[in-house]
Amino acid sequence: MRVDAVTLFPAMIDSPLSESIVGRAREEGFLELGFLNPRDFTEDRHRTVDDKPYGGGTGMVMMAEPVYRALKKVRKKNSFVILLTPKGRRFDQPLALELAKKKHLIFICGHYEGIDERVTPLADMELSIGDYVLTGGEPAAVAVIDAVTRLIPGVLKKEDATVNETFTGGLLEAPHYTRPGVWRGEKVPEALLSGNHKLIAEWRSTQARELTGKARPDLPAGGQAKKPARGKKKI
């Protein structure tokens, strides 16, 4: 898959996506990642990419033209253009699976107060990673590219790694344990030590359903019980 990011801060994406599984996916050619800096598509001496908002108000707005030119340079017939914005559709695992089938993704990352609204119709989708406001689209691009890359066939060496994981089938995944069998007095559940694959599968399935019902009743397999999500009470 080819991914390009239109960003004023390429290193904010390049650096985190050079490590671990995604870094290896890049080295092995599963993911080709490129960057276009709108500053390189300006014509004035100061390479200006932002200006004050019409109507007044705080902050600066990214100008449409440098973003447009950057996009024009890289967009192909099969490109899917994603504008990152907190106003967009909320990102989730089913969407990650859809995006993993695309040949070419282009992410437009806003910064400051965002991008001139006239850029919005150039995108195929407006996408948010959650109901909070980041300083820029770059961390959002990292999250989406990471989630999508691990779904590209061959990136995870164990093909079934994404089959039973959280959000697949509308469930949270069952808990994991590793050695030692007893850690600070806490034992690993008996079923996992049994060596009986059927029993282990049943235990995991029950755990996944119970956990989903408690922590995420809003998920398809969560039963829609009106209980608070896990961790909510602490805040």
Which of 67, 106, 128, 142 touches ligand SAM (CB under 6 A)? 128
Q: Is 38 in the site for ligand SAM (CB under 6 A)?
A: no
Tell me how far apart the terminal alpha carbons of the chain are, to the nearest angstrom: 40
| Site map 9..28 versus ligand SAM, x via CB under 6 A | --------------------
Nearest residue to the partner ligand SAM, using Cβ: 110
Which region, judged by CB under 6 A, interacts with ligand SAM, from 4-12, 18-26, 131-139, 218-226? 131-139
Q: Which one, 71 or 174, has the nearer CB to ligand SAM? A: 71
In the complex, the smallest distance separating the C-beta of residue 140 from ligand SAM, rounded to whole angstroms, is: 4
In the complex, the smallest distance separating the C-beta of residue 155 from ligand SAM, rounded to whole angstroms, is: 23
Token reading at 143: 């999250």
Which region, judged by CB under 6 A, interacts with ligand SAM, from 43-51, 92-100, 122-130, 154-162? 122-130
Q: Which one, 119 or 155, has the nearer CB to ligand SAM? A: 119
Which helix H or strand E contains 82, and what residues bound it? strand 79-90
Which of 109, 119, 155, 172 touches ligand SAM (CB under 6 A)? 109
Instruction: Return the SS3 of 128.
Output: strand
Decide: 114 and 61 in contact? Cβ < 8 Å.
yes
Phi-psi map region of 10: left, alpha, beta (phi>0 left; psi -120 to 50 alpha)? alpha
Report how far Cα 66 is from the mean position of its chain's Cα atoms: 25
Decide: 89 and 144 in contact? Cβ < 8 Å.
no
Q: Is 89 in the site for ligand SAM (CB under 6 A)?
A: no
Q: Are strands 125-128 and 79-90 parallel, antiparallel or unpaired?
A: parallel
Residues 133-172 that bind ligand SAM (CB under 6 A): 133-137, 140
Tell me the Cα Rg of the chain. Answer: 22
Q: Is 6 in the site for ligand SAM (CB under 6 A)?
A: no
> What are φ and ψ of residue 75, in 5° steps?
-70, 130
Which helix H or strand E contains 57, and what residues bound it? none
- Which residues sit at the interface with ligand SAM, rule CB under 6 A? 84-87, 109-111, 113-115, 128-130, 132-137, 140
